[in-house]
Amino acid sequence: MSTQAGRLKKLIQANEVLASIDSLVDLLPQLLRLAQEVTGAEASSIMLYNEEKNVLEFALAMNDVLSDVKMDILKTRIELPLGKGIAGWVAEHKESLNVTDAQNDERFSGEADKKTGFETRCILCVPVIHKGQLQGVVQVLNSSAKECFNEEDQELLESFGHLAGVALVRSELLIQRLDQQKFETQLEAASRIQQQFSPKQPALKGGNHIWGNSVPAQFVGGDLYDFIPNSDGSWYVYVADVAGKGLPAALIMSALWTRIRAAAAKELPTNKMMEEINSAAYEFMGGEVFATMMLARYEPHTGVCSYSIAGHPAPLLVSGGEVTEMRRPFGLPIGILDDGEFGMTEITLEKGQSLIVVTDGVDEARNSDGDFFGTERLAEALRGFDNPPVGKQLLHAVSKWRGKNPPNDDTTVVEIYKF
């Protein structure tokens, strides 16, 4: 009874220690110290199972008899194939082994002894298993008080092996969670940087209003819009949507942003500017990814808005409660062909009229039933708003439609309004 109680106490102690340790680096020495204590051994070592290579790797060894110098020999990560040596045998069979005469056991490999000068008399080795999965093996060498390890030691070390398994898996999970946290911190930083790409709303005279907003589906997205002033008082206003989403789309998006800014400096008509953007974008998109785009050049003093389209949804004219889909001059999405050509057309915005440009995240927004917001509902929403500007209300309506459903695509709305 007293031995039972003593064993239990040791195991509870072990459990408490293991539960309080978070890092693998701190965990392994504690594991070994405990293993050695509960069994009263001279030395111990732990090997972790590398599933990818299907080998055991020496993780740590502890020896109360040998000097530190000799211990260093064991610290180098020795690999042990499954089935080789006592530890390899235990790992392969997922069974404990209590060897009372190591030197005469054919499974015993004397290599470590040769290197260190330690003489292994007996070995008790148990597998560390968690939920049926091999995590590694723990072995203790030479009982300091007895001739060899007995059945009680074996049971104790086996119980300890289970605790160690849980602790190992837990520390592995903690490492993963830390990695995940690091990654998310970086994404949040990336998200803040990407928000810097969004232009400020320009202060325009003479009753003109240019507004835009973009909501990424994930931290960062592939939607892009910008307002760039020209020397003649006109403004380039564009919306672009890089295929895909998340980080890959965001990287393409930021490269595209700089190419468009560079092309804008030439102050070309929209069709010629689109050609410039396309050939510059083809260099890094290389026909593997594309972006759709609507590029307008708006003259606030006249209301004239000329524009070109690269595979993008048509702009919508909201006027007096009516919504009209504007003409789409032909143009392939940018980044598909190195020598794309683009059409150009123009409309003139009258007072009270609003031109809305969206990305497909708007009509592809799904509600909790999986239904799309759709072009019909988009037009309906735009008709239903009192008076322009309506961009903000539209984005609001889309988010309401989506409800708690996470966005499945980046969503952008840009509006040019004359009042």
Residue 288 in the binding site for other proteins (CB under 8 A)? yes
Stretch that binds other proteins, among 19-27, 138-146, 241-249, 378-386 (CB under 8 A): 241-249
Q: Which of 333, 388, 389, 407 binds other proteins (CB under 8 A)?
A: 333
Phi and psi for 207 in degrees, rounded to 5?
70, 50
Residue 292 in the binding site for other proteins (CB under 8 A)? yes
Using CB under 8 A as the criterion, what x/- string covers residues 400-419 for binding other proteins? --------xx----------
Sequence letter at residue 331: G
Q: Which of 206, 287, 321, 384 binds other proteins (CB under 8 A)?
A: 287
How far is residue 37's CA from residue 391's CA, in Å, rounded to a whole number?
A: 71
- Residues with Cβ within 8 Å of 62's Cβ and at least 6 positions away in sequence, in order, are 29, 32, 33, 36, 43, 44, 45, 71
Per the structure block, which two tokens stand in for 250?
Answer: 């965001």
Of 136 and 216, the one with the shorter C-beta distance to other proteins is: 216
Of 300 and 331, the one with the shorter C-beta distance to other proteins is: 331
Site for other proteins in 139-168 (CB under 8 A): none
SS3 percent helix, strand, coil of the chain, rounded to 5, is 40, 25, 35
Residue 330 in the binding site for other proteins (CB under 8 A)? yes
Residue 289 in the binding site for other proteins (CB under 8 A)? yes
Site for other proteins in 172-211 (CB under 8 A): none
Site for other proteins in 295-314 (CB under 8 A): 309-311, 313
DSSP-derived letter for residue 223 is: E
Count of residues of this chain found to bind other proteins when the rule CB under 8 A is applied: 24
Per the structure block, which two tokens stand in for 346?
Answer: 């123009």
Residue 370 in the binding site for other proteins (CB under 8 A)? yes
Q: Which of 107, 166, 172, 244 binds other proteins (CB under 8 A)?
A: 244
How far is residue 96's CA from residue 106's CA, in Å, rounded to a whole number?
A: 16
Instruction: Say if CB 367 and CB 401 are below 8 A apart.
Output: yes
Residue 18 in the binding site for other proteins (CB under 8 A)? no
Closest by CA position to 239, among listed 356, 335, 402: 356
| Residue 192 CB-half CA count within 13 A | 5
Contact positions vs other proteins (CB under 8 A): 241, 243-246, 287-290, 292, 309-311, 313, 328, 330-333, 336, 360, 370, 408-409
